[in-house]
A and B are shown apart, each in its own frame.
Chain A
Amino acid sequence: MATETGTAQEVVHQAAALADHLPMLVVLVPFVAAPLVVVLGSRGLAWWLAFVASVVSTVIAAALLARVFDGSVISYAIGGWAPPLGIEYRIDAANAFVLLLVAGISTVILPYAKVSVAAEVPKKNHTLFYAAYLLCFTGLLGVTATGDAFNVFVFLEISSLSTYVLVAQGSYRDKRAFTAAYDYLIMGTIGATFFVIGIGFLYMATGTLNMADIADRIAEQGSNRTVRAAFAFIVVGMGLKAAVYPLHLWLPGAYTRAPSAITAFLAGTATKVAIYVLLRFFFSVFQPGFTFTVNTLEIIVIPLAILAMFAASFIAIFQNDFKRMLAYSSIAQIGYILLGVGLLTATGLTAGIAHLFNHGITKATLFMGVGAIVLRVGGSWYDRIDGLGRTMPWTSAAIVLGGLSLIGVPGTAGFISKWLLVQAALEKGWWPIALLVVASSLLAVVYVWRVVEALYLRVPQGRAAEATDPPLMMLIPLGLAALACIWFGFDTRVTIGASQMAAEGLLAGSAGMLDSVGASSALPLGAGH
């Protein structure tokens, strides 16, 4: 008995010790799985490894979010090397929420991807495909979890390089995927270069790479030309990755030509992570009170956001390809997120972060729906999707639910964030902005309804007439995502709760190194470090 209790205690102790390493494990698990996939070289195992890694990351992300939901901050020093010299992982409500979004979407999409990828990518590439996918996934998680500016760049490149490969895999279905991937490569590299130049300037000005430490130094020395240049480079660089209008040119091509599962994954996660990095730099590295930030947001970001909401929506209306339409719609929706951020109020920031999540699941649903159509009909041109409401009823229903959420009809996730956004604008007294938000929602009605009419009010022809709903492996993730669009339209405890906490944390400015010590000492961190 005694030994048994001893073992149990041992297990509990080890579990507790493991729990301390969660901030690193969330990134490490897929990172280790990626080379493992290549080394094992087995097609069957590749998917399983990716899926298991993704599930584990999701569980860890959920656990992390639960731990920081009260507004606390977890600071983790890699290898026990104390920051600012060592690399620090820093988890608060803002990035735990994004981690959960990224990992959750990956977990939902992978079962779907198994069938979809099998149909769109030749078998010989599958092993490497999943390895690249895992690297991309790792990169996105790493960018989000880390508290070190240079580490952001490293993970950013890991995710970007693997994304270029993944996008190019669409070339077996459509040769234009090569040019799309090449466009993305050029633009993405320019973005990353700008970003790393910005980091370089910051290092020059502060002598440190730890974000919290940089924040402290900037707060001490105040603004100077180097810091402002750094800010500009970082904003433009990340703006490119986030497809902030008018830096969005890579996005429509990449989203349209990439394999369906990759589009669904990237649309839900990649731009969202880039926006998260922007938020982190706007608010944590440069203080929210930093006048340069305020001016940039009000004079540059808000007008660009509004421009995106309208220009991209208009372009979306006139697309002839469902997938491409959704890509332009994404650019418009990024405008909403940035608008919320630009309002610089707690409600606005909450709206932006909530929309980051809600739009992530909405777009994942829609792109999965398109993927199902591509599988059955071979394309997503409007004339090919005619009448699919009759032959692919479940897929079409899921697309309609996603579409309603995209418009922001009450009872869907999209409505929640739009409500918050309008509320934020009104609270600030900027009622024209509120009217612009609802006006651009009406443009969404137009482009969504083109699809609804095609699906339900036309007669299916050609392959559409014989199409059926995709296999359950694809249909169930699609259905789950569609239900999530409805679920988060009613149950907002997690979305609004986490967004509010994240917004408060960000607006409180950087918890610089001093605060961070206080925050981490309040946590039951293991003695390991």
Chain B
Amino acid sequence: MDTGTAIFLSILIPFAAVFTNLIFRNSPNLRDGLTGAASVLAFLCVLVVLYNEGNGTSEEIVWFQVFPGIDLAFKVEPLGLLFAIIASGLWIVTHVYGIGYMRGNNESHHPRFFACFSFAIASAMGIAFAGNMFTLFLFYEALTISTYPLVAHKGTPEAIRGARTYLAILIGTSIGLQLVAVIWTWALAGTLDFTNGGILAGHIEGPMVAILLGLYAFGIGKAALMPFHRWLPAAMVAPTPVSALLHAVAVVKAGVFTMLKVGVYIFGIDFLAETGASEWLMWLAAFSILAASVVALTKDNLKARLAYSTVSQLSYITLGMALATTMGALGGGLHIATHAVGKITLFMCAGSIYVATHKTEISQMNGLGRAMPITYGAFLVGALSIIGLPPFAGSWSKWLLIVGAADAGQIVMIGVLMASSLLNVVYLLSVVGRGFFLPAADPGKHDHGHGGQDDHAPEGEASAMVWGPPVASAVLCLVLFFFAGDVAAFLAPIAEPAATAVAATN
């Protein structure tokens, strides 16, 4: 199978799953089985692309022309391929988890849920393989629209409010700022193709570079850069599988992935370094990292805490781009992968706790670790990876980011990354600590806000379909530690040609 077909199928298969879910709405096993098969097939297609890419067979695949000079086109490059592998690979895990969660929780509207979920994955695949900014923007918006029903899923006033915030910020920033940035880029450079070394050098100068970068940085709302981060905590009203795959991996990673793409292929790392246009973004990202961590500390709701942790971690990647060094960009790219496996583990554990006990607040979770050792063990591994301790994956990306900061001569940024790690320790490990070491709360004192659900006493784990996936992703955190070097080497080409291009001009 050639790369073009594989890309086509990796988008089409999840898209087809949208319709199988709607058509077989009344036969749950067939429906979920087909979607599961689709997730495996989509992953295989991505692997085929990876295999072909290894043989150096990648080139631009044009579907058709939309505007004169602007095509709906796809192109394989390391960052996108990495994103595609993560999103499609974790889709398999999350689908299994999603079936367990949705059935275990008696949630309603399964067909709509899984249909929108599949649509979101198809959009994520489109983003990953997009060959130009136009194609990326198209799928970026498709991702927003398709995840909206998932956030509003429960239909409660709270869910509707959350979904409104979600849509308002994501659509507002993307149409209000990003679209302008994209069209401006097109008007300046006459192309939107992702090109090594960027396309803007020589077309724009002075403070306008920083303004254009600002339009992109704030316009890519999915990267949750402060002050446009409110949608992410708001999205936590969605069922946990959504929070796990979409709001820890696919959607937010689509955001920072776009951010990296813009930095590396639209502006070009060297162009950013020369003009210093990204310096303000670096400071904002640093602020975002620390502020979101501090806010996370104050959150008692576990998913809200994880959401703010995500806001903070996403800014690591934005920071990596804004450092405008090769190592920074590489660290950012690697962090997409390591944070994905770490954070999805944490979210799936939160969901596992919810299914087993219907508890959402950390203060209610005292002593749960002894009743649910597998879930809490997986949570601990995920947390350590996010904090950045060896032997877990997160340590490498943090390492590269620190090296990147050192390369850029930004000593303060090293301090920021260190301080953030310490904050991570406090807000993540306290959850584990409460679970294992504090005595369980007196059942009589339960918060009656969850009235009638107290029969879910902490008697043990939920079904294997719920605790199995987080364990699998926790193992991935460990495995990725040993293969991080390979991933980094795989990503290396994103910055190389830019360097040679500069060498040539010198």
Q: State which residues 113-155 of B face A: CB under 8 Å.
A: 137-138, 141-142, 145, 149, 152, 155
- In contact, A445 and B66 (Cβ under 8 angstroms): no
Interface majority SS (helix, strand, loop, mixed), chain B: helix
Which residues of the partner chain A approach B142 to less than 8 Å between Cβ atoms?
410-411
Given A442-B171, A457-B152, the answer on whether A422 and B67 have CB atoms closer than 8 Å is no
B171 nearest CB across to chain A (Å) = 5
- In contact, B175 and A442 (Cβ under 8 angstroms): yes
The residue of chain B having its C-beta at the shortest distance from the C-beta of A409 within the complex is B141
The residue of chain A having its C-beta at the shortest distance from the C-beta of B149 within the complex is A456
- The answer to whether the Cβ of B464 comes within 8 Å of any Cβ in the partner chain is no
- In contact, A445 and B160 (Cβ under 8 angstroms): no
- In contact, A439 and B176 (Cβ under 8 angstroms): yes
Chain B window 166-185, contacts with chain A (Cβ cutoff 8 Å), 1 for yes, 0 for no: 01100110011101100110
The residue of chain A having its C-beta at the shortest distance from the C-beta of B144 within the complex is A409
- The answer to whether the Cβ of B490 comes within 8 Å of any Cβ in the partner chain is no
- The answer to whether the Cβ of A337 comes within 8 Å of any Cβ in the partner chain is no
- In contact, A490 and B180 (Cβ under 8 angstroms): no
- The answer to whether the Cβ of A304 comes within 8 Å of any Cβ in the partner chain is no
The residue of chain A having its C-beta at the shortest distance from the C-beta of B141 within the complex is A410
- The answer to whether the Cβ of B273 comes within 8 Å of any Cβ in the partner chain is no
Cα A318 to Cα B20 with chains together (Å)? 39
Chain A window 438-461, contacts with chain B (Cβ cutoff 8 Å), 1 for yes, 0 for no: 110110010001000100110000
- In contact, A438 and B176 (Cβ under 8 angstroms): yes
Given A419-B67, A423-B183, A423-B187, the answer on whether A441 and B145 have CB atoms closer than 8 Å is no
Interface size on A (CB < 8 Å)? 30
Which residues of the partner chain B approach A360 to less than 8 Å between Cβ atoms?
none
- In contact, A410 and B137 (Cβ under 8 angstroms): yes
Chain B contact-residue range equals 20 to 34
A313 nearest CB across to chain B (Å) = 14
Which residues of the partner chain A approach B141 to less than 8 Å between Cβ atoms?
409-411
| Selected contact of A422 from candidates B155, B171, B183, CB within 8 Å | B183
| Selected contact of A490 from candidates B72, B176, B187, CB within 8 Å | B72
Q: State which residues 467-506 of A face B: CB under 8 Å.
A: 490-492, 496, 500
Given A416-B67, A423-B187, A496-B68, the answer on whether A453 and B160 have CB atoms closer than 8 Å is yes
B218 nearest CB across to chain A (Å) = 13
A487 nearest CB across to chain B (Å) = 12
Cα A442 to Cα B66 with chains together (Å)? 23
The residue of chain B having its C-beta at the shortest distance from the C-beta of A444 within the complex is B175
Cα A492 to Cα B142 with chains together (Å)? 19
Cα A431 to Cα B168 with chains together (Å)? 23
Chain B window 388-418, contacts with chain A (Cβ cutoff 8 Å), 1 for yes, 0 for no: 0000000000000000000000000000000
A340 nearest CB across to chain B (Å) = 14
Known A-B contacts: A411-B141, A426-B184. Give 18 more (CB < 8 A): A404-B145, A407-B175, A410-B138, A411-B138, A419-B67, A423-B186, A426-B183, A431-B184, A434-B183, A434-B184, A435-B176, A438-B175, A438-B176, A442-B172, A453-B160, A457-B155, A490-B66, A500-B68
What residues of chain B have their CB less than 8 Å away from a CB belonging to chain A? 64, 66-68, 72, 137-138, 141-142, 145, 149, 152, 155, 160, 164, 167-168, 171-172, 175-177, 179-180, 183-184, 186-187
Q: Can you list 14 A-B pairs with a CB-CB distance of less than 8 A?
A: A407-B175, A410-B138, A411-B138, A411-B141, A416-B66, A416-B67, A431-B180, A434-B180, A438-B176, A442-B176, A445-B167, A445-B175, A453-B160, A496-B67
What residues of chain A have their CB less than 8 Å away from a CB belonging to chain B? 404, 407-411, 416, 419-420, 422-423, 426-427, 431, 434-435, 438-439, 441-442, 445, 449, 453, 456-457, 490-492, 496, 500
Top 7 closest A-B pairs, CB basis? Answer: A410-B138, A426-B187, A422-B183, A410-B141, A438-B176, A423-B183, A445-B171
